[in-house]
Amino acid sequence: MLSSFYPVVAGRASDANSRYRALYQVQSGRIALQELEQQLSTGMRFSRPSQDPTSAIRVIGLQRELEFRDQTIKNLDSSKGYLNASESNLANVQDIMTELRGLGIEATGNVVGESERRGWINQIDASIQRLTSVANTRYLDRYLFTGGAVDTPTLENFRGALRFTGNEIDLTTIADVGDYITHNVTGQKALGLLSDGITSRIDLNPNALLTTRISDINGGQGIAPGAIQISSGTSQVTVDLADIEFVGDILNKVNGNVFLDEREVVVTLNNGSLSLNYLDGLPGTLRVSEVGSGRTASDLGIQTTTPAPSLPTNGVSLDPIIRPTTLLTQLNGGVGFDWSGGLRIQQNGQNYDISFENAVTVEDVLNKIQRSGAPVVADIAPDGRGLRIRSKESGSAFSIGELQGTLAESLGLRTLHGGTQISELNYGRGLTTTQGTDLIIIRNDGTPLNIDLDGASTVADVLDTINNHAGNQDAATRVTASLTSVGNGIELTSPLSSGPPNPAAGPIKVRSAGGSHAAFELGLVPRGESQAVASADGMNYKLGGRDPNPQEVKGVFNSLKRLRDAIQSEDSNEMARAVELIDKDLERISLSRGSLGVELQRIDSLKIFQEDTKVGLKESESKNLEADLATVISNLNARQASYEASLKLLANANQSSLFNYI
């Protein structure tokens, strides 16, 4: 290119051409000077990506990375603020609970007057108010202990009871690429605002459908992706099932696509399990085996182990877990349950009767429970095998029982059932029994039945002990013990008195015997009473007891309310239990504070790492973007000299005359 020879003019050239070349050189020098002056003034090697595309791409990537690191540092600073505020409030809670623990110990070991008892109760009430304020603490733009419900107070007061209005969602923020950090502690984790779950004791056992996800079968474990081999003994076909998503995809892969000895093989889904046969229905051999070291066939429950299995080849249940979309007709092995009876949830003296009319899916059932007004949270159990119901109201007892029918028992949700351990009754205190007779039941003819509960370990054992008593076998006087048909509790029934007049005859009665408190602790005798008397109901006497197995939220507010009520009723045993609950609360708070401390240390470490990473990125950015000032100044001087020479050449070219060519 001629420009490569500028400013030298090669050969004969016109005056215009010489001037053009000189002018070009001046302009090029001026542009170069401007670029060097810009580098000198800005300190940057280039101001537009087109000036150095390779370095520009590298710098853009580094700047994006720096922006990300800046944001993560802001995230960490924000998280640290929330965690510090949470830790400070939990420290306050721990101090209050420690103080009240001492009060509980003092109240348990001393007999005091009414005025001192009233002072303790007032102190507990004031502490509950303080703790409520702490639980509802708001820091910056959100409440600290509500989980994901950041714009909702943690607790609300409902008829004197405290209800948890948050959730258990952990809030996370980006701390690094693929790394997240939790910047909250939920009220449930720190303060205990939800009860232990009442979880289905039985597997609700839904049948698989064609629309069931493969990932949901085998108890949520899915299957090992792979292939299966279908053989007739003389020929075989391999079916690739690596990409299937639904159970119906298995049928689509096989039906119409697999032929053995010119006979079509079909797969059907029967009662939640797969079945293979020939389409023509004629006899033959049909085996399903693994391909290589795979286990897809066994995971699907259709692997055959005998050389000549009988047709059809029936697999085992695919055993899917429950999802919100699971149909109620899928449950119980496809038989379903009778939902017409409904459930009754009792909480704080209130009955919440729940009807499942028009419910089609599990989600419908959960919605009806949560919209019933009962202070509970209903969801699917963590193992996906059943339902779970938890109370969110502290300081009051709750239970799940029957409304009409046996639905609560069928779902495994009834809180008092035949399998309930005696040791679990009365908040885990069990029964106080003695050697020999523990309770006395007076028959309708006045004859006492001495009931000895030694050896009884479950509620069913208690009922059997009463029903199988040797003196309780006459139909005319028989006392039948059973669980109540509505709600929860133990119920005694007996025919009305009949036969010749008897002064001792009348309604059946129940009282404790000796030093045993079994009659009261089984819920048959009210607190403070020596006995309970049945009332006439139609052709029978009926004595219905209260629920001896109430459930509760195990947390700070429940513990304090239990302590308050125990002091008010002068119940030393309940005071001792309340102190034990407070000990567990203090342990929970300590663990929560410890986890917060770990998170805060992690934030400090991550922040140091991010700062160090930023230094490295800044250094790389500087190398690719910032100009070397010494080099720029040197180049500027050289360019300045070249520019001045070009100006002189242009001046000489413009002064040329005819004499220059003679």
Query: Domain boundary residue among 565, 591, 611?
Result: 611
Question: How is residue 92 written in tokens?
Answer: 């306050």
Same-domain pairing of 124 and 177: yes
In this predicted structure, what is the pLDDT of residue 182?
92
pLDDT > 90? residue 433: no
- CB-based contacts of 174: which residues, under 8 Å, 6+ apart? 71, 72, 75, 180
- What one-character DSSP code corresponds to residue 216? G
96-141 pLDDT per residue, tens: 999 999 999 998 877 778 889 899 999 999 999 999 999 999 998 8
If one counts every other C-beta atom within 10 angstroms of the C-beta of residue 583, the result is 14
Rounded Cα–Cα distance for residues 319 and 299 (Å): 11
Asked whether residue 313 falls in the same domain as residue 346, the answer is: no
pLDDT band at 158 (very low <50, low <70, confident <90, very high): confident
Residue 617 maps to a domain: no
Cα separations in angstroms, 398 against 214, 389, 521, 561, 609? 38, 11, 17, 15, 50
- Residue ending a domain, choose from 353, 388, 415: 415
Digit-coded pLDDT (tens) for 12-48: 556 666 667 767 776 776 776 666 666 666 667 666 7
Flag whether 91 is in a domain: yes
Q: Are 406 and 456 within one domain?
A: no
Provide the pLDDT for residue 59.
77
Measured distance CA(487)–CA(402) in Å, rounded: 5
Q: What pLDDT does residue 355 have? A: 95
Unique residue bearing structure tokens 């010119």: 262
Return the pLDDT at 3.
45
What spatial distance separates the first Cα and last Cα of the chain, rounded to whole Å?
Answer: 30
Binned at pLDDT 50, 70 and 90, residue 5 comes out as very low
> Which residues pair with residue 345 across a beta bridge?
352, 400
Say if 52 falls within a structural domain: no
Mean pLDDT of 556-585: 93
Which residues are 354's β-sheet partners?
A: 343
pTM of the model: 0.84
pLDDT band at 60 (very low <50, low <70, confident <90, very high): confident
Residues in a beta bridge with 417: none
pLDDT tens readout for residues 377-399? 999 999 999 999 999 999 899 99
Task: Provide the pLDDT for residue 649.
Answer: 64
Chain-centre distance for alpha carbon 284: 50
How many domains does one find in the chain?
4
Confidence at residue 1, expressed as pLDDT on a 0 to 100 scale: 39
With a cut of 80, say whether residue 72 has pLDDT above it. yes
All residues at 6 or more sequence positions from 382 whose CB lies less than 8 Å from its CB, including other chains: 388
Helix (H/G/I), strand (E/B), else coil: 651: helix
Percent pLDDT > 90 in the chain is: 67
Confidence category of residue 402, pLDDT binned at 50, 70, 90: very high
State the CATH number of the domain containing residue 113.
1.20.1330.10
d(CA 106, CA 567): 11
pLDDT of residue 513: 86
Residues 304 and 267 in one domain: yes
Q: Which helix (DSSP H) or strand (DSSP E) does residue 386 occupy?
A: none
Residue 80 to residue 184: CA distance in whole angstroms? 10
Tell me: do 82 and 108 sit in the same domain. yes
Answer whether residue 227 is part of any domain: yes
Residues 6 or more apart from 448 whose CB is under 8 A from it? 440, 441, 442
- Give the C-alpha separation, 451 to 457, whole Å: 15
pLDDT of residue 529: 86
pLDDT of residue 656: 56
In one-letter notation, the amino acid at residue 588 is: R
Are 531 and 582 members of one domain? Answer: no
Tell me the per-residue pLDDT of 314-367, one tens digit each, with 9 for 90 and over: 999 999 999 999 999 999 999 999 999 999 999 988 999 999 999 999 999 999
Q: What is the pLDDT of residues 200-243, one digit of tens each?
A: 999 999 999 999 999 999 999 999 999 999 999 889 999 999 99
What gap in Å lies between CA 192 and CA 555, rounded to an integer?
A: 4
512 and 577 inside one domain = no
Which of these, 397, 429, 415, 426, lies nearest to 558 by C-alpha position?
397
**643: Cβ–Cβ under 8 A, 6 or more apart, which residues?**
26, 29, 30, 32, 33
Among 267, 289, 317, residue at a domain's last position: 317
Confidence band, pLDDT 50/70/90 cuts, at residue 162:
very high
Q: What is the mean pLDDT of residues 195-199?
A: 92
Q: What is the mean pLDDT of the chain?
A: 88
273-278 sheet: strands from edge to edge = 259-260, 263-270, 273-278, 313-317
Tens digit of each residue's pLDDT (9 = 90 or more) over 592-627: 999 999 999 999 999 999 999 988 988 887 777 666
Q: What's the rounded mean pLDDT across residues 149-167? A: 90
In a domain, 256, yes or no: yes
- pLDDT in the model for residue 18: 64
Task: Tell me the angle at which helices 53-108 and 114-135 cross, rounded to the nearest 10 degrees.
Answer: 170
Residue reference for tokens 């059973």: 482
489-503: average pLDDT: 81
pLDDT(90) > 70 = yes
Q: Provide the H-helix boundaries in 347-442.
A: 362-370, 407-410, 425-428
DSSP 572: H
Q: State how far the Cα of 265 lies from the Cα of 259, in Å rounded to an integer.
A: 6
Per DSSP, 376 falls in state E
Same domain, 498 and 521: yes
The predicted pLDDT at position 351 comes to 94
Amino acid 505: pLDDT: 81
Average pLDDT over residues 166-195: 92
The whole-angstrom separation of Cα 91 and Cα 590 is: 9
Query: Which pLDDT value is given to residue 455?
Result: 87
Of 391, 372, 454, 9, which Cα lies nearest the Cα of 198?
A: 391
Q: Which domain holds residue 493?
A: 423-544
Helix (H, G, I), strand (E, B) or coil at 61: helix
Q: List, in sequence order, every residue forming a beta bridge with 166; answer none if it has no partner.
A: none
Cα–Cα distance between 506 and 249 in angstroms, integer? 69
Do residues 82 and 603 lie in contact, with contact meaning Cβ atoms separated by under 8 Å?
Answer: no
How many CB atoms sit inside 10 A of residue 41's CB?
8
Token pair for 380: 């699917």
The pLDDT value given to residue 450? 93
117 & 175 share domain: yes
Q: What is the pLDDT of residue 141?
A: 85
Residue 637 lies in a domain: no
Both tokens of 565, joined, read: 């009520």
Residue 273 structure tokens? 């399990």
Let me know: does 542 contact 181? Beta carbons within 8 Å.
no
pLDDT for 556: 96
Q: How confident is residue 151, by pLDDT bands cut at 50, 70 and 90?
A: very high
> In this structure, are 156 and 258 located in the same domain?
no
Does residue 300 form part of some domain?
A: yes
- pLDDT category of residue 159 using cuts at 50, 70 and 90: confident
- Any domain includes 428: yes
Burial category of 4 from C-beta neighbours within 10 Å (exposed 0-12, middle 13-18, buried 19 and up): exposed
Residue 660, classified by CB atoms within 10 Å of its CB into exposed (0-12), middle (13-18) or buried (19+), is: exposed
Cα–Cα distance for residue pair 444/509, rounded to 1 Å: 8
Q: pLDDT at position 2, please?
A: 43
Residues 454 and 404 in one domain: no
Confidence of residue 4 (pLDDT cuts 50, 70, 90): very low
Residues 462 and 505 in one domain: yes
Q: What residue has token string 């595309």? A: 53
